[in-house]
């Protein structure tokens, strides 16, 4: 199954990322949430910023 990566700063735009991920899921898509923020995420993510920066 193909996934749509929702990438953004989950520390400051967490609500917006969650909205987009929920919309994709509601349409039947699979989502991977990726945080690229510099502070702690305010919403659940699948790939944290620390892993992206590694």
Q: How many CA atoms lie within 13 A of 43 on its CB side?
A: 22
pTM value? Answer: 0.89
pLDDT digits (tens, 9 = 90+) for 3-49: 999 999 999 999 999 999 999 999 999 999 999 999 999 999 999 99
Query: What residue spans define the domains of the chain?
Result: 3-53
- Which tops the pLDDT comparison, 54 or 12? 12
> Residue 54: what pLDDT?
83
Long-range CB pairs of 24-32 (<8 Å, 24+ gap) are 29/3, 29/4, 30/1, 30/2, 30/3, 30/4, 31/3, 31/4, 31/5, 31/6, 32/3, 32/4, 32/5, 32/6
* Banded pLDDT at 2 (limits 50, 70, 90): confident
């Amino acid at each position: 199954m193909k996934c749509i990566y929702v990438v953004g700063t989950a520390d400051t735009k967490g609500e917006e990322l969650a909205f987009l991920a929920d919309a994709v899921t509601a349409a039947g898509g699979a989502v991977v949430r990726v945080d690229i923020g510099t502070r702690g995420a305010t919403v659940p993510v699948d790939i944290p910023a620390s892993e992206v920066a590694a």
